[in-house]
């Protein structure tokens, strides 16, 4: 039996993993999918959210675990799980990047995203007047995140999105071989992704060693568009 900690990406919340959690449970695995600070109920204004705050929230959960967990990050969540692995490598059995940003030390999400000319996020980002948060133009959200989802699923998901703090996008990672580098990694590519192009996904999982790379014929949200396939991939990680 495996235990999974599922970390959502930008604009989303723990809600996006609910179907995967049910599927994991039906296969005998436990999971938890917290809201990162500012993404769920609470008193933290999104414009005060930082990457260290995200990471601290996950490290606190890891510290409560008796045994190592499989730590899964989607999209921006890749930053969070990498930094958590740097701080608590002994608490993590494996890192799983689901079409996620797998960055090297010193890199930021923004610089990688700006180089991704086939992705739809950066050209359609609407920044708040105070420059602290941003959202995507509503008319491109479905194509960016949910292109292969059922229409009703995409509509419900889009209604749940929240403004995204920009500070985590421009904060460089600080990783080492002794921390982050010690944890085995699986990368789940999504071939029809318009938020992070498949070419950039491949670039990231090639330059940072991943013990396993798996491809799904999915959009940016395989937890909604192909949950059975993603669940099977996650379950296979308990066998490695």
Report all structural domains of the chain as residue ranges with CATH numbers, in order of start.
3-237 (3.40.50.1820)
Among the listed ranges 41-50, 94-103, 112-121, 207-216, which one has the minimum average pLDDT value? 41-50
177: left (phi over 0), alpha (psi -120 to 50) or beta: alpha
Query: Would you say residue 203 has pLDDT above 80?
Result: yes
Query: Would you say residue 43 has pLDDT above 80?
Result: no
**Average predicted confidence (pLDDT) for the chain:** 96
Rounded Cα–Cα distance for residues 24 and 5 (Å): 12
What angle do the packed helices 151-160 and 138-145 form, to 10 degrees?
A: 120
Query: Would you say residue 64 has pLDDT above 90?
Result: yes
pLDDT at 1: 83
Q: How confident is the model at residue 137 (pLDDT cuts 50, 70, 90)?
A: very high
pLDDT at 47: 75
* 110-134 tens-digit pLDDT: 999 999 999 999 999 999 999 999 9
With vertex at residue 178, the alpha carbon angle to CA 173 and CA 179, rounded to the nearest 5 degrees, is 50
Query: Would you say residue 46 has pLDDT above 80?
Result: no
Query: Would you say residue 141 has pLDDT above 90?
Result: yes
With vertex at residue 74, the alpha carbon angle to CA 227 and CA 137, rounded to the nearest 5 degrees, is 95
CB neighbours (10 Å) of residue 42? 9
* 161-177 tens-digit pLDDT: 999 999 999 999 999 99
Rounded Cα–Cα distance for residues 114 and 173 (Å): 17
Rounded Cα–Cα distance for residues 46 and 48 (Å): 5
Rounded Cα–Cα distance for residues 220 and 216 (Å): 10
pTM of the model: 0.98
Rounded Cα–Cα distance for residues 51 and 196 (Å): 19
Rounded Cα–Cα distance for residues 116 and 81 (Å): 22
* 71-96 tens-digit pLDDT: 999 999 999 999 999 999 999 999 99
pLDDT at 44: 81
Among the listed ranges 15-19, 40-44, 213-217, which one has the minimum average pLDDT value? 40-44
- Name residues whose C-beta falls within 8 Å of residue 202's C-beta, 6 or more positions apart in sequence: 189
Rounded Cα–Cα distance for residues 3 and 235 (Å): 10
């Amino acid at each position: 039996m495996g235990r999974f900690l599922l970390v959502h990406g930008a604009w989303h919340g723990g809600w996006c993993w609910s179907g995967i959690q049910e599927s994991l449970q039906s296969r005998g695995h436990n999971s938890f999918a917290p809201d990162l600070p500012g993404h769920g109920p609470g008193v933290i204004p999104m414009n005060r959210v930082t990457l260290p705050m995200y990471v601290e929230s996950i490290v606190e959960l890891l510290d409560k675990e008796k045994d190592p967990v499989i730590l899964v990050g989607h999209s921006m969540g890749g930053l969070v799980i990498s930094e958590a692995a740097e701080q608590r490598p002994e608490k993590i059995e494996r890192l799983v990047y689901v079409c996620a940003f797998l960055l090297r030390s010193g890199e930021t999400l923004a610089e990688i995203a700006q180089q991704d000319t086939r992705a739809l996020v950066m050209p359609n980002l609407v920044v708040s007047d105070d420059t602290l948060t941003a959202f995507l133009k509503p008319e491109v959200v479905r194509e960016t995140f949910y292109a292969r989802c059922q229409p009703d699923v995409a509509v419900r998901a889009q209604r749940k999105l929240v403004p995204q703090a920009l500070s985590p996008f421009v904060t460089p990672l600080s990783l080492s071989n002794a921390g982050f580098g010690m944890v085995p990694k699986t990368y789940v590519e999504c071939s029809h992704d318009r938020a992070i192009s498949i070419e950039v996904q491949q670039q990231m999982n090639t330059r940072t060693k991943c013990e396993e790379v798996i491809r799904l014929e999915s959009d940016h949200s395989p937890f909604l568009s192909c949950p059975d396939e993603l669940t099977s991939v996650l379950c296979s990680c308990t066998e490695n």
